[in-house]
Structure 1
Amino acid sequence: MLTLSHTTVYVLDQDSAKEFYTNVLGLELRDDISMGAEFEGAGAGFRWLTVGPTGDPTRTIILSDCAMGRDPASAEQLRSLVAQGTMGVGVLETDDCERAYRELSARGVTFRQPPARRPYGVEAVLVDDSGNWFSLTERVAVDA
């Protein structure tokens, strides 16, 4: 059986992303490790920075520098795409989208879209400190 344990979000500044994902969104810090140059393709090494939902060790987000594992030109292209806000990177699930919207807005989170009813639930769209955007979704039961 296969399952997805980690997903990557490319960020412009790992220190800023660590602050945003832990102190603003409320995820827990999992790893913050400096990996050495001995890792193939890493050049001078890289920083392994991960966060995840508190109490759920099965879901982990890698907050990756755009340069990790890339040549300088590719890293700059990726950095440019992230900075332009072109990266829709996933869905953050909540049990109350309206409440989460109010709480996160009060913490300074930028939203592209306030909560709105959709066929699958209630959805808002938030933007992280690098420009990545997430659907913030409260699922509702759908009649079969």
Structure 2
Amino acid sequence: MSLGISQVTIYVEDQQRAVDFWSGKAGFTVTRDMPYGEDRWIEVEPPAGGTRLVIIKADPKWPALVKDMPNYVLFQADDIVKTHEELAARGVEFTQAPKQEPWGWSAVFKDDEGNLFHLGQR
């Protein structure tokens, strides 16, 4: 069997702010941006390719996302220290700098929507 993951959806309050973060600060490429009902369907792809993020406007009627807890999206880098330095220089805020954990290297960063994400090392 050949099974993979093509997309992961991230729900945001402001789609343009999220696009600016992912394409500007994080260095992703916008691969699709088209109308989607009253909002937009936006896909961004990481610099190394692979699984795309779909940036969808959250419905205000939905329960609030848990704040101060990282999403279960883990980004990986070949060199976490170098990647941390590059992203921080572009304005990405880290709530946890890279550190060695029993399971490997780990860091946590925040997007401009306030969502937290893990960064690990391959």
**TM-score range for the pair, normalised by the shorter chain length:** 0.7 to 0.9
Contact 1:9 / 1:89 at 8 angstroms: preserved in 2?
no
The answer to which structure has the higher strand fraction is 2
Q: Normalising by the residue count of structure 2, what TM-score does the alignment of the two structures yield?
A: 0.86
Q: Note if 1:53 corresponds to 2:46.
A: yes
Relative distance call for 1:12 and 1:87 in structure 2 (3 A) is farther
Stretches of structure 1 lacking an aligned partner (at least 5 in a row): 37-44, 140-144
Matched residue, 2:79: 96
Q: Deviations over 1:33-74 (max 9, x none)?
A: 0134xxxxxxxx331011012352x4111011002xxxx522
Stretches of structure 2 lacking an aligned partner (at least 5 in a row): none
Give the count of matched residue pairs: 121
Equivalent-residue separation in structure 2 for 1:27 and 1:12 (angstroms): 19
Matched residue, 1:130: 113
In structure 1, what residue type is equivalent to 2:118? S
Which aligned runs of 4 or more in structure 1 are off by greater than 3 angstroms? 84-87
Relative distance call for 1:27 and 1:136 in structure 2 (3 A) is same
SS of match in other structure, 1:26: coil
Q: Which has the larger radius of gyration?
A: 1
1:1-144 matches, within 5 Å, as 1=1, 2-36=3-37, 45-54=38-47, 56=49, 58-67=50-59, 72-74=60-62, 77=63, 80-81=64-65, 84-86=67-69, 88-139=71-122
Equivalent-residue separation in structure 2 for 1:51 and 1:129 (angstroms): 15
The answer to which structure has the higher helix fraction is 1
Q: Normalising by the residue count of structure 1, what TM-score does the alignment of the two structures yield?
A: 0.74
